Structure 1
């Protein structure tokens, strides 16, 4: 149990070798596998039994973390006199994270989903914001039965209650266009700005256009600020979110931190997420203590780059309150003065006008004090299981219907075609037609165009299974 508690992912073979070394006794691999399963159940908890104490956990979570929102939903039960209800969904928004998100001053949220493992698989839906330093700020999470319009709509309604959002709210969302999410957002928030992750758009394009040239054209169109269309190009973004973000990496980062918790029992999984949020706040505060200046580190780097660019610009004044500077206008989109604005301010200062400090032209989102204000609120630890309050609700919670998923459970997320090709380092010319080039462009390994060699007769064109002795053996 000590070994499993310190390293839950230890391989069975390594555990077998360690036990045989410690006790000088031989153990079969099957016996070690059963022992590891039993130890994990004792350390992490039983998958079924954790549903029995779910209400107790909720009471403890809300008592230690004030203003925390937890919502439960059960499958419909035709028998109204039944003493149990089957678990369907659960939503959690910790009070400290809710207050901190409001202090971020950014009406911007990214959505994503990730598979759960174990005997009762489902989906973990996450809502992640962006802090003043352009880092992730997890807001809420939910465990649902599947990823569809109904579950996404329920998740969005829960978030709307916590953030006081309405149908006419001018909020900004970004997603990978998950199943049902686009429909749910359009129904609940018709006035919201919904951005699509550019990387996933490119992955869909790669099925038809596989060369890097198309990728460069797509990125150039998306990053420009002077052409349409909406959802994926900065030219059509509003300044509501004070961000020109094109990728949904904030949710990808958050989900990557939850990989080890996704195969744990329900309460253990929820605790894994809460503990990560608690540790992240501490880590950010350590970084903040080293920061100086009026702006956050990321905003400072952008401003320094813009200042360097502005020194190369020539500004022409028209004699009143207008200036001519060639290039796109991005101040309202990011909340930071672009190089053209800085060039105008430099020109005004050179002519003896009072322009003030440069950081005063930046949106409050980018101020260091705003970043610190978001992390004033903490996620509090909870007490041990024996000290949890006992729920007085007579209705017992039962786990969802057990479903065995096909195939071997996967730990890692599915990599995109581009990530696969980058991982293998297949940077080849687009005109080549070899099998390796085709694999690098499509991101998939294929046996097409490969001429196999028989391992028996060493002649090409067939394999050992179909060999008829062509080599004379």
Structure 2
């Protein structure tokens, strides 16, 4: 099955249909395809070279796509006039330097529907021309990642990050004035055991104390972003989703990222159309879980005029202070996430009775005048003839009356008019009649005569 004439120039055209259908095809799949279709065996190096050539036939060569970058950027601006695309090359040699893309839909969606939180991260893409992908990713209302902008540079350094952030600030406005919160890779330093570091390493404790607490402690975070995230997981999810484009030519990679963002937006819109209620699915699920925990907390109103301040207790010693008007809780979960905590939910569902009623100030309503009737007042209504007088009592079900004398149905013995003899009567009743019982001797003589 091994054939020396099966070179990569001969194998690559055979793999083109497979690559067009499945762009991320692996070498093992291509090897199995050639064996089953053409009965040809190849070594791993031959499969890799032939597969690379097949990709070049389908997508074009890398240097050809670099030459078309200006045309690609111009086409994006024509189709998305409010998008931001900046391409920089070296002054004299015109070599590619960096390219920044912020699509209009991504920009407007972030400003109108996402939390003011931005994750910054870089991703190294291997290939013949090594490059770095710098990205700014936020979080939408359903706790999923939302891509704002991305940038392709040759190397990740301070200069390229400053250029990327300057372009991002021009698109989003004043980052400080709008209260945007940034998360970068630096917070990973605190993933070491914080408590053990403070106890065992005094230098580490001093270094950590020199950094303001609102930069690394969740309890001291700013409450503007309404997010409890302390990691750059949103960027990691985005980088993992576009990992299959890392070895592609630059325009193919840009198009793959853009199409992925578009498909994700379409899926999100379909999910919103199916959802019921004003809240997103993940937020509603979180509220349902918190509502189940809220039953263990007992709210106590503090008698404030706004009827908004409560002290919530849970045996034996747990206590929290809740202010419904200011939307705050001493646990700070409500302030940091924007979602009511279990303590606040217990107060929202609390009903304290008449002391929460608002006084209208009108004259009090008097009871109506009642004319008293003689006798004991009747509390039960009069029932119609068709109704049972006592429906709660079981009645005996009896058939029609039967005469014990003549054995006929429809009358009793007392009203029986049948003409029967004494013997028949006695036999019928099987009892001694009162007139047949001897009372005294006089009666016997009378009977004998």
TM range (shorter): 0.5 to 0.7
The question of whether the paired residues in 2 share the 8 Å contact of 1:122 and 1:143 is answered with yes
* Equivalence map 1:6-155=2 (5 Å): 6-12=21-27, 14-25=29-40, 30-75=45-90, 77=91, 82=92, 84-155=93-164
**Which of the residues 286, 290, 297 maps onto 2:274?**
290
The question of whether the paired residues in 1 share the 8 Å contact of 2:27 and 2:48 is answered with yes
Alignment partner, residue 201 of structure 1 = 190
**Which of the residues 334, 337, 344 maps onto 1:334?**
337
Alignment partner, residue 428 of structure 1 = none
* Equivalence map 1:233-382=2 (5 Å): 233-321=217-305, 322-325=309-312, 326-327=319-320, 328-348=331-351, 350-351=353-354, 353=356
Deviation for aligned residue 1:45? 2.0
**Which of the residues 162, 166, 170 maps onto 2:171?**
162
Q: Structure 1 stretches of 5 or more lacking a match?
A: 178-195, 215-227, 356-473
Distance, in Å, in 2 between the alignment partners of 1:263 and 1:354 is: 68
SS at match of 1:287: helix
> Would the alpha carbon gap of residues 349 and 104 (structure 1) be closer, same or farther in structure 2, given more than 3 Å must change?
farther
Distance, in Å, in 2 between the alignment partners of 1:172 and 1:64 is: 31
Distance, in Å, in 2 between the alignment partners of 1:315 and 1:28 is: 73
Distance, in Å, in 2 between the alignment partners of 1:236 and 1:46 is: 52
Q: Structure 2 stretches of 5 or more lacking a match?
A: 1-15, 201-211, 313-318, 321-330, 359-449
SS at match of 1:294: coil
Aligned-residue Cα RMSD (Å) equals: 2.7
> Would the alpha carbon gap of residues 251 and 32 (structure 1) be closer, same or farther in structure 2, given more than 3 Å must change?
closer
Distance, in Å, in 1 between the alignment partners of 2:113 and 2:286 is: 19
Tell which has more relative contact order, 1 or 2 (C-alpha 8 A, sep 6+). Answer: 1
The question of whether the paired residues in 1 share the 8 Å contact of 2:219 and 2:332 is answered with no
Aligned length: 311
> Would the alpha carbon gap of residues 351 and 72 (structure 1) be closer, same or farther in structure 2, given more than 3 Å must change?
farther
Distance, in Å, in 2 between the alignment partners of 1:244 and 1:17 is: 48
Normalising by structure 2, report the TM-score.
0.64
SS at match of 2:123: strand
Deviation for aligned residue 1:319? 2.0
* Equivalence map 1:187-226=2 (5 Å): 196=187, 201-202=190-191, 204-205=192-193
Normalising by structure 1, report the TM-score.
0.61
The question of whether the paired residues in 1 share the 8 Å contact of 2:131 and 2:153 is answered with yes
The question of whether the paired residues in 2 share the 8 Å contact of 1:329 and 1:340 is answered with no
